[in-house]
Structure 1
């Protein structure tokens, strides 16, 4: 197997990245294209860069690639990257964020669609019977941390919500509107357009509780974990009331463990709202438990329906809260709870708008997003760069980043100004570390440190399985011997294409290949339809 690559250096240590079109360098770029295309090795170079074609900032690797016999371990051949075009091996960056690398995000979005959709319809190792399991689509939102500008349409008459042109209601109409303690109006009578930059912005920045919001983002994963557990317990209690017995599972130690006959599997995507608070879109599916094969996906027992699943979710969302640990700025901690808008919808109902494909595409779309909806996008912040983004008197996002940095500060330090004594050092060892320290690590994500797509272990296929299948397909396409494996001893050399001309050539070739595949799929589908 190819060993894990070493961690990449910080962005400021990377080599030049030429991926953005700059009109002033158009002539130089054209010259680079002509120079590359005129070389005799151009076709070989284009084939060599194919694995990273379309990537905005491919990773360049140097080292040795060895072909080894799978059965005997005998070395069949060995090649150094100095013998390859550009004396380097190109690898796509694999970044999931569309704002960083659209091509790699397109691949990730396709994998995310398969992960979500296979849990709804089956396929790729998931039995098709999961399509008959009770499933709901739930949205969990954050509570209010202060009034913000929003767009509300009381009644939709448009055909497509993505291109909604319906007339919205006034933002925050108040008959007795006044001003807040800071002199800002407490009402807004504007009918905001969908692209209005004021959407998500607080009516008064000084009244808004920025600290509570970043703490909510930080602990939202724990809130979801407890909510999921509460939903499981609620369904298990429903089984007990209806006389559905527990299932005995034989453990590895030979003992029998009694578990509820129903479990809830989920696939979850986090979306960053314009006000910079995350909310979760979750698919929850009811599965049964097979005592002979606990990993099998079987339907829930008779007597447990989608109504019970919906009741369990609503009850858990109402009841579960988290009180965070004490902080010097908030000795009693912060209360973390869901907002009032907990929406639960059923999928594939008669006359309903939600179908398997629509829900899977909807969730996959948000899997490639991060904080772009808030207007902020940056890499991880450091003490040297945080002042470029954090400002306690700045705009909404700047205050959120400042709140992350302030709350995540070291809280157990020597404040006397003198040298720390042995007792002070022992106290620091005995004291638990600041649990809020991670807010600084995730300040660029406005406090949210979770992954934007997660799932239960038994919900569906994994990204690793999909990538392994794709790797096998590529090896068969390249006619690689099945009894040979490639072992790479590679180190990081740099990121990005060597020239802007190389980026244009490689990305253009990648787009042409994708278009050719798309046309081929359409023609194959047409031939299949005609034959039927």
Structure 2
């Protein structure tokens, strides 16, 4: 194969070690950004040049930086790093004691909330153990108006392509499905507003007075269900009224995690969004959360008995779904929930059709979100004082990598942040995306897989394949 020769040529080059250092600095990214240019660092007081870095000194005259794509289908390496960052961000706000969040945060009331979409029509389902009959839909014994059965006696595996498919595509309300999906971010916003109001009502004070006693903080991710509609997972925590000096105070009123979970369930039931009619329709739709919405109290891991949610377990669960997107849903490894390809195609087609009907409607931009199945929200969001930020985590990692490399003349052009006593002058140009050859890409992919295996083995205290051999 041609790329074998490319791999061999790269391995034989005298600058291979430097090339590997470059690849390692990107985390063995699958689609790194190629840059050409220079960075010079000067002493701001004397004007003397302290350091100089140029891409011409690198193999092939190119500097590589991470693509930073969180989607595993695009870049496993950057997705892996993003998932790790999300885990640190979420667990810091759930358990405290890391990333600048005090350990006392772990004592604050905490709940794990799942908000789902309502039913838009009967779909095939895979049952979990303990849910009664394992058959898909054994009870209904009649035909729909289109002459199709409304029951299914099959037992579907969770990775079966039938799961999530409508029993009758003509009965399924795709218009309401897309309308709900389009307004899902607004439903979430109103849920948080309603939760604050429910919290104030439970305290018997006004909302403005309640904000001085207790504040709602959260970290939330969106996940696609098998039927192609999103639902949300969120960790919701109660704090006091924080300041810049004390951003994570305890709430000034006694509220338990069980009470918070109850308030969240009550808030979810009270949320409603009246959506504008679709082009060509006259009736507005009333949108609500589905009946399977749930809220459960979360406890500190050191205090938790079997069967109760722990802060770190929930953080890992949320971080897992923060790296998912629609392109990961249509195909991939079994065992991961994803809509069937025909469901995706139908939703995309209907979204494009609705967007094209009327340029003046609220849905005129729907076509831009076809690839997201009509969902226009962020896959992961958090309140400002939930914990740290992804930017701070990445900055800390860059600083650590620079100190470890002990090569101060090599400055990352995409993120150089010198101290106040220095002046950084950079001139960089975009030269392309990806490695220069299939051989380079193969070397980077193999190294990325080995690095992930090593990191996973360190966490589980298990030897890697290389160590076993």
The bucket for the TM-score relative to the shorter chain is 0.7 to 0.9
Provide the C-alpha distance between the structure 1 equivalents of 2:271 and 2:370, rounded to a whole number of angstroms.
Answer: 26
Provide the C-alpha distance between the structure 2 equivalents of 1:329 and 1:190, rounded to a whole number of angstroms.
Answer: 39
Q: Which structure 2 segments of 5+ residues have no match?
A: 333-340, 409-418, 462-469
**Secondary structure of the corresponding residue to residue 49 of structure 1:** helix
Q: Which residue of 1 aligns with 2:17?
A: 43
Tell me, yes or no, if structure 1 residue 198 matches structure 2 residue 153. Answer: no
Instruction: Confirm or deny: 8 A CA contact 1:116 1:460 kept in the other structure.
Output: yes
Task: Report the Cα offset of residue 484 of structure 1.
Answer: 5.5
Cα displacement string for residues 28-70 of structure 1 (whole angstroms, at most 9, x for unaligned residues): 1211111111122222222233222521111111222222335
Provide the C-alpha distance between the structure 1 equivalents of 2:53 and 2:258, rounded to a whole number of angstroms.
Answer: 61
Tell me, yes or no, if structure 1 residue 102 matches structure 2 residue 76. Answer: yes
Instruction: Confirm or deny: 8 A CA contact 2:36 2:429 kept in the other structure.
Output: yes
Q: Which residue of 2 aligns with 1:330?
A: 281
Cα displacement string for residues 261-284 of structure 1 (whole angstroms, at most 9, x for unaligned residues): 111111111100110010001111
Instruction: Confirm or deny: 8 A CA contact 1:184 1:204 kept in the other structure.
Output: yes
Change (3 A) 1:519 1:326: closer
Superposed, 1:350-361 pairs within 5 Å as 350-361=305-316
Instruction: Confirm or deny: 8 A CA contact 1:236 1:261 kept in the other structure.
Output: no
Task: Report the Cα offset of residue 457 of structure 1.
Answer: 0.6
Q: Which residue of 2 aligns with 1:505?
A: 443
Q: CA RMSD in A?
A: 2.8
Q: Which structure 1 segments of 5+ residues have no match?
A: 1-26, 157-166, 248-258, 378-393, 413-432, 524-532
Change (3 A) 1:485 1:347: farther
TM-score with structure 1 setting the length = 0.76
Tell me, yes or no, if structure 1 residue 312 matches structure 2 residue 286. Answer: no
Task: Report the Cα offset of residue 352 of structure 1.
Answer: 3.2
Match of 2:118 among 126, 132, 143: 143
Match of 1:457 among 366, 371, 384: 384
Provide the C-alpha distance between the structure 1 equivalents of 2:128 and 2:459, rounded to a whole number of angstroms.
Answer: 39
Instruction: Confirm or deny: 8 A CA contact 1:168 1:191 kept in the other structure.
Output: no
Instruction: Confirm or deny: 8 A CA contact 1:239 1:245 kept in the other structure.
Output: no
Superposed, 1:451-530 pairs within 5 Å as 451-480=378-407, 487-513=425-451
Instruction: Confirm or deny: 8 A CA contact 2:121 2:166 kept in the other structure.
Output: yes
Q: Which residue of 2 aligns with 1:365?
A: 320
Q: Which residue of 2 aligns with 1:345?
A: 296
Match of 2:127 among 152, 155, 169: 152
Change (3 A) 1:357 1:169: same
| Total equivalences in the alignment | 438
Q: Which residue of 2 aligns with 1:180?
A: 144
Change (3 A) 1:473 1:485: farther
**Secondary structure of the corresponding residue to residue 315 of structure 2:** helix
**Secondary structure of the corresponding residue to residue 442 of structure 1:** helix
Cα displacement string for residues 70-118 of structure 1 (whole angstroms, at most 9, x for unaligned residues): 5556544544423421121111211101111111100000000011100
More off after superposition, 335-344 vs 299-308: 299-308
Match of 1:287 among 239, 243, 266: 239
Q: Which residue of 2 aligns with 1:20?
A: none
Instruction: Confirm or deny: 8 A CA contact 1:81 1:88 kept in the other structure.
Output: yes
Instruction: Confirm or deny: 8 A CA contact 1:142 1:338 kept in the other structure.
Output: yes
Change (3 A) 1:105 1:179: same
Tell me, yes or no, if structure 1 residue 239 matches structure 2 residue 203. Answer: yes
**Secondary structure of the corresponding residue to residue 281 of structure 1:** strand
Task: Report the Cα offset of residue 220 of structure 1.
Answer: 0.4
More off after superposition, 207-216 vs 342-351: 342-351
Q: Which residue of 2 aligns with 1:261?
A: 213
Superposed, 1:428-467 pairs within 5 Å as 433-467=360-394
Q: Which residue of 2 aligns with 1:89?
A: 63
Change (3 A) 1:376 1:517: closer
Task: Report the Cα offset of residue 327 of structure 1.
Answer: 3.2
Change (3 A) 1:73 1:212: farther
Instruction: Confirm or deny: 8 A CA contact 1:64 1:79 kept in the other structure.
Output: yes
Instruction: Confirm or deny: 8 A CA contact 1:273 1:374 kept in the other structure.
Output: no
Provide the C-alpha distance between the structure 1 equivalents of 2:51 and 2:129, rounded to a whole number of angstroms.
Answer: 68
TM-score with structure 2 setting the length = 0.86
Superposed, 1:18-29 pairs within 5 Å as 27-29=1-3
Cα displacement string for residues 333-361 of structure 1 (whole angstroms, at most 9, x for unaligned residues): 22221000111111125443311111111
Provide the C-alpha distance between the structure 1 equivalents of 2:176 and 2:76, rounded to a whole number of angstroms.
Answer: 33
